């Protein structure tokens, strides 16, 4: 593999690196905050998050894992029916750094097929597992015409020691319009029942967004 293969891997943590590679971590907006949820759909977590969002009058983007969509296709459809955006998080939730582009291409084909079959929507946003790009993966995603999106705020809700209070505090610390907030509606790849803590944190997150005078919004290909 080329020497630059691993360089984009730190983009989620180094804003200047993300900017250098043209990877969005924020919205170009002065009145919206994007809520994003990774790793679903999940039989308990996704409905709980959907209900919390509905109560708060908020919309969000769900980065779906293909193997989970295959297990729960009707639930993936419910996300779209509720007015939210669906996006690609891969078919298998595995790190990209050791995956060749041909292997990734097959993985993404499977993920897209599952999402389209379940929701009728062809997704155009992509976030890699763990937020880690390789240079080859980033180039390939762009050949598909997809928008790569990371985040600017996160709740670290996958951690076993996380609490609703710590999730809300981390996700909203120095929150600004245009931020992209990373949360999870599934514990398939994280600590057991993490989705319960995330759901409990959501009202506080939504209150923080409202305090800014902003709306909690989904992300589209062009926004």
Query: What positions carry a catalytic annotation?
Result: 38, 184
Token pair listed for 13: 């943590």
Cα–Cα distance, 175 to 173 (Å, whole number): 5
Cα–Cα distance, 63 to 37 (Å, whole number): 6
Query: Contact 50/40 with Cβ under 8 angstroms?
Result: no
Cα–Cα distance, 106 to 104 (Å, whole number): 5
């Amino acid at each position: 593999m080329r020497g630059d293969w691993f360089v984009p891997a730190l983009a989620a943590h180094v804003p200047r690196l993300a900017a250098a590679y043209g990877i969005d971590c924020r919205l170009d907006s002065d009145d919206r905050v994007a809520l994003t949820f990774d790793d679903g759909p999940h039989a308990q977590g996704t409905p709980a998050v959907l209900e919390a969002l509905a109560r708060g009058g908020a919309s969000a983007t769900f980065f779906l894992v293909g193997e989970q969509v295959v297990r729960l296709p009707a639930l993936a459809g419910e996300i779209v029916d509720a007015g939210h955006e669906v996006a690609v998080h891969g078919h298998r939730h595995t790190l990209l750094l050791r995956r060749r582009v041909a292997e990734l291409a097959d993985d993404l084909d499977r993920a897209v097929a599952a999402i389209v079959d379940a929701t009728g929507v062809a997704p155009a946003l992509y976030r890699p597992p763990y937020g880690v790009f390789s240079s080859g993966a980033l180039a390939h995603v762009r050949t598909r015409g997809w928008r790569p999106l990371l985040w600017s705020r996160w709740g670290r809700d996958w951690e076993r020691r996380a609490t609703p209070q710590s999730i809300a505090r981390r996700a909203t610390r120095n929150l600004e319009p245009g931020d992209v907030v990373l949360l999870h509606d599934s514990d398939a790849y994280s600590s057991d029942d993490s989705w319960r803590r995330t759901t409990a944190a959501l009202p506080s997150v939504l209150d923080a967004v409202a305090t800014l005078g902003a709306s909690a919004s989904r992300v589209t290909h062009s926004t």
